[in-house]
Amino acid sequence: MIFKKRIQVFRLIVQAFFMAGLVVPWLPHSEPVDKWLLWVVPVVGVFFCGWVCPFGTAQEWIAWIARKLHLPRLQIPWKFQKYLQVSRYIWTALIFFIGVHYAFLNARFYFNNSLLTWTSGLIFAAFLLFGLFIDRPFCNYFCPKGAMEGILSIVRPISIKRDNNACIHCRLCDKICPMNVRVEHTDFVRHPNCINCMKCIDICPEKCLAFRLMQFKKKRENDE
């Protein structure tokens, strides 16, 4: 069985629906949906990227094919990853504060709006090719849209909570995360990279990850 968990089957259906919206005129397009989903980002985090965005979906499907073909995946050590992760925020800052011309790189925009020219086709083909070896390369390192929504999501009071008492620290959650969030290192996921794909919840053998409302620790009476 390809997808063991119902939530992943449901997510796949939603992703396929919006992917089809790129070519079937009577199906809804992803961009207006994004405007609605933006309102829930400060409450429950980013859902557009993990469920709707066709370019994110394309990168995910490419990674799935690569794994089925047993292509070698590039594992970037965390000591480099933590610096690389900053790159999409640097792009965002350069675009907004210095006015860097980013259009030539905006594979998401070309793909999601079906703007197929030689240049745009080459750019998103390059990212999809890169996606054969690394998870969601555009989302992780280049997308200003993902970066902005990610920043907005860090205040969310509802997110994935890890039960440290039940956790066996197997780190399967870290390994499956396509956005390089270190789930095992946190009690409550509010990392800006999280796209709510729920893969970490599904893979956890101890079922110690779940969507919860953040609980603020009460100050103990004998604390000074």
Site residues for ligand SF4 per CB under 6 A? 49, 53, 55-56, 108, 138-139, 143, 145-146, 160, 162, 167-173, 176-177, 179, 181, 183-184, 189, 194-200, 203-204, 206, 208-209
Cβ atoms of 143 and 151 within 8 Å: the answer is no
Q: How far is the CB of 222 from ligand SF4 (least distance, A)?
A: 31
Q: How far is the CB of 189 from ligand SF4 (least distance, A)?
A: 5
Helix, strand and coil percent figures for the chain, each rounded to 5: 55, 5, 40
Cβ atoms of 141 and 84 within 8 Å: the answer is yes
Q: How far is the CB of 76 from ligand SF4 (least distance, A)?
A: 15
- What one-letter code names the amino acid at 130? F
Which stretch of DSSP H or E encloses residue 40?
A: none
Q: How far is the CB of 223 from ligand SF4 (least distance, A)?
A: 28
Nearer to ligand SF4, 134 or 143 (CB): 143
Q: How far is the CB of 118 from ligand SF4 (least distance, A)?
A: 21
Residue 144, token pair as written in the block: 């200003």
Nearer to ligand SF4, 67 or 171 (CB): 171
Nearer to ligand SF4, 19 or 184 (CB): 184
Nearer to ligand SF4, 135 or 223 (CB): 135
- What one-letter code names the amino acid at 79? K
* Orientation of helix 118-130 relative to helix 54-68, angle to 10°: 50
Backbone region of residue 53 per phi and psi (left: phi > 0; alpha: psi in -120 to 50; beta: other values):
beta
Nearer to ligand SF4, 24 or 168 (CB): 168
